[in-house]
Amino acid sequence: MSDLVRMSITMDRDLSDRLDSLLEGGRNENRSEFIRDMIRCRLVEREWEQDQEVLGTITIVYDHHSSDVNRRLTHLQHEIHDNILATTHVHLTHELCAEVIIARGKASGIKKFADAVRQQKGILHTAFSPSTLGKVES
């Protein structure tokens, strides 16, 4: 178990009140947990900014009747096949498909791939989730 460090933080009342309003109904139970979470998020952001080896997830919803989007998505993935860890395809409705692609690699490459996916015609929605390969300590 890592050493715990106790610290005090100074901020003006207004900002402190706003912090408390963020905590209400949020996922964090207290200020310490909130700040720890924020730091972890910032560390992951920095990994992406520094173009380190990272993990990213792309969710895509599309109409499979629309042009040849299915074939184009497969083609894009084959172009970086070494980076694709997994792809899950779900047939949402008669028309709609959802695909979740999990990729690892240099941040710039994963971003480029996500942008290329986003720009495909026939896609109704994409969501990109930048994450980490776990170098961030808890």
Q: Distance (Å, rounded) from C-alpha 69 to C-alpha 8?
A: 53
Residue nearest Ni ion (C-beta atom): 97
Q: Is the Cβ of residue 42 or residue 91 nearer to Ni ion in the bound state?
A: 91
Q: Is the Cβ of residue 54 or residue 64 nearer to Ni ion in the bound state?
A: 64
| Closest distance to Ni ion from the beta carbon of 49 (Å) | 35
Q: Is the Cβ of residue 101 or residue 107 nearer to Ni ion in the bound state?
A: 101
Give the number of other CB atoms < 10 A from CB of residue 103: 21
| Closest distance to Ni ion from the beta carbon of 123 (Å) | 13
Q: Is the Cβ of residue 46 or residue 91 nearer to Ni ion in the bound state?
A: 91
Q: Distance (Å, rounded) from C-alpha 128 to C-alpha 63?
A: 19
| Closest distance to Ni ion from the beta carbon of 61 (Å) | 10
Q: Distance (Å, rounded) from C-alpha 57 to C-alpha 83?
A: 12
Site residues for Ni ion per CB under 5 A: 91, 97
CA angle 88, 92, 98 (to 5 degrees): 40
Q: Distance (Å, rounded) from C-alpha 120 to C-alpha 117?
A: 6
| Closest distance to Ni ion from the beta carbon of 99 (Å) | 8
